[in-house]
Structures are given as C-alpha cells and as structure tokens.
Amino acid sequence: MKNPTYKESTATLVEVAEAAGVSRQTASRILGTAAHKHKQATVDKVKAIAEQMGYRPNLLAKSIVSGRTFSIGVLVPQNNAGDGFFTQVSNGIQRALLDTNLLPIFLHTSDESPEKDQIHRLVDRRVDGMILIPQGTDVAPDYFKEIADRNIPVVCVNERITNVGPLDFVGTDETNGGKAAAQYLIAKGHTKLGCLHWSERSVNLGMRQNGFLKEAETRGASCTTIALPGWTLEENIDRLCQALQSKGRPTAFFCVSDVYAAMLYKAAEHCALRIPEDLSVLGFAGLPWGEFLSPGLSTLSQDGGRIGEEAAKALLNRINGSTNKPAPKRVKVELVERRSVAAI
C-alpha cells in the first residue's frame, strides 16, 4: 500500500529534459547509472537543472519496469569491521556510487552470520551485484555457483577466489609491496634483514613475504625469517625475544603486518632495545594507529579507498554489460616514512 504521506517529486523527467534541452533518454541516462556516456558539461547541466526543479527519480517504478533493484550487496568480515583498511574499502565503494542510483547494502559476516546466510539475504533482495570481502580463499563453491547461476555480477576484494572460476578481483599489490620494503631497508644501509610472518598459510601475507625475500636475495642482503604462531602478544612474545637476543640478529625487520610490528615494539622494550637506534622496524598495512606508536611506525600503506572505488567501478562495468574477461587489478602501496627506520 502506498504511503499516503509521501509526496512525489514536483518535476518529471520529461520536464527536466525539456529545461536542459536534451532528450528524455539522455536525461534518463545522466540521472541514472550511465552518466559516463555523456560529456561532463552535459552531465553537470542536467544534474543542476534537476536539482533546481526538485526532481527525484522514482526507483520503485524503475524497478518494476526494469526488473532491477538498483542496489548492491557488500559483505565485510565482522572481525575486520573495525580495521582501518576495511573501513577505507567501504568508504571507497560508497564514494564511487554517489553519482549513481545504486544503493550499497553493507552486511557483516561472522560465525553468527556466515557468508552463505548473508549472501542468501542479498539474493532474496535481488541485488544487482555483489562486492565480497571473503574470509579466506578456500570458500565453499556451492553458494558462489548459486550466484553465478543467477547471473549476479560479483567482485571480490582483498582475497582472490580461484576455486569457483574466474571472478573480477581488486586488491593490494602485495608482491611489489614486499619488494619495496626490501628496497627501502637496503637503501637505508641495512644488509642483515629479518622478516616476521605468520606460520599459517595466507596468500596475501605470503606474497608480501616472498616479494621481500626475493628482492633481498637479488640485492645481496641476508635475511632471517621468523614465523609467529598467532596474532596475540602472549602467543608471540617468547619467540620475538628469542630472535632479538640471538647473536648476529638482524638490524632491521620487515613485518608483514603492522600488528606484528607493534608486537615487535613490545618485545624490543622487554629486551631493552631502542627503536630505531638499536633496531629498525618497517610494517605493512598503514593502519591508523601506527603513527601513535613511539616512535611512529614507518609502513607500506594499503590504499583501501582506491581499492573500494576500483571494486565498485568493476562491478558497475559488469552490471552495465561489460563482456570483458575477469582480470585481477592490484593497487600499489605507498611508503609512509616516520621514525622507526634508521640509516646506518
């Protein structure tokens, strides 16, 4: 039943088109999801006139005619909901959709709300596409097949899914980020390097580590790898202190995550080592709290905002009928230089 208190726009699409001196089809595309097909001057003119006339599109009516809902689903892992990187990704997605009629629906996934259930919620709402941030690369192929069978466009972010066929993917240039870390530390004069990494299998962290190790070897630097068993200081402190107290320890460490870098700070304090006077530390991620460590953490920063924007653009292209073969897109990291790395 129609809400009796809701008033429709006072201007129609035809009236906006006439006032702007364009066809109804042109006005519809510009005020819909295909503004990119027209010159920017025309787009600006039509949008300004629509704003002046108080025009608002009736997406419900469009949905009935087109069979589309003008919405997209975005799944974000619950345990990363407070992570600065995934917040940046979400903001980037929203920014890229501001000038379209597509509404993002953000849902968190967790043990209580698993990916499969959340995907079903989005499928039931007939979203026009999905941006997924999987919790790992080994996802169950059955419900991804369900999405594919329904011809719902999908873009994966951060984790590239390979066991369900080719999908559009946008993520960080992990390998070249690892290479950049080695280049930076060696340029500072360090030739005895260390690499802190996770003992479990992780595609992204592994790419960072491999890029770092290969570049260090190419440039003639020695490198000690230290595998950490978990993600809490309690799990890792003994292993870290053992590494820092060993004879001939590295002068600089690359940590595949800023979280590990923060743990190394604690271990250095425990071992009465000063950063960067006695030990240089370089992180990876660019998490916002890194600047508040003492000294501020130098790190390779992921551009989550750009990744989100590129993911939204890839999905828009797919929704608008792009038949290009899905291909991965990786966004470069940026060195954020603070005071945790010394030149020797």
How far CA 162 is from CA of 77, 134, 207, 324, in Å, comes to 19, 12, 16, 18
Sequence-separated (6 or more) residues with CB below 8 Å from residue 241: 267, 270, 271
174-302 and 71-172+305-330 share a CATH fold: yes
**Residues written for the chain:** 344
- Name the CATH code of domain 13-57 (choices 1.10.260.40, 1.20.1440.120, 3.40.640.10, 3.40.190.10): 1.10.260.40
For residue 141, name the pLDDT band (cuts at 50, 70, 90). low
**What's the CATH number for 71-172+305-330?**
3.40.50.2300
- At 1 the pLDDT is 45
**134 three-class SS:** coil
Region at 67 (left for phi over 0; alpha for psi -120 to 50; beta for the rest): left
- At 50 the pLDDT is 92
d(CA 158, CA 174): 10
Q: What is the pTM of this model?
A: 0.81
The fraction of the chain above a pLDDT of 70, given in percent, is: 88
Q: What is the largest CA-CA distance in the chain?
A: 80
Token pair of 43 as six digits: 């787009």
- Check pLDDT > 90 for residue 20: yes
Buried b (16+ CB within 10 A) or exposed e, 165-199: eebbbbbbbbbbbbbbbbbbbbebebbebbbbbbe
pLDDT tens for 276-327 read 999 999 999 999 999 999 999 999 999 999 999 999 999 999 988 876 788 7
pLDDT tens for 101-130 read 899 999 988 777 777 788 889 988 899 999
- Check pLDDT > 50 for residue 259: yes
Give the start-to-end residue ranges of the domains of the chain: 13-57, 71-172+305-330, 174-302
Asked whether the beta carbons of 310 and 93 are under 8 A apart, the reply is no
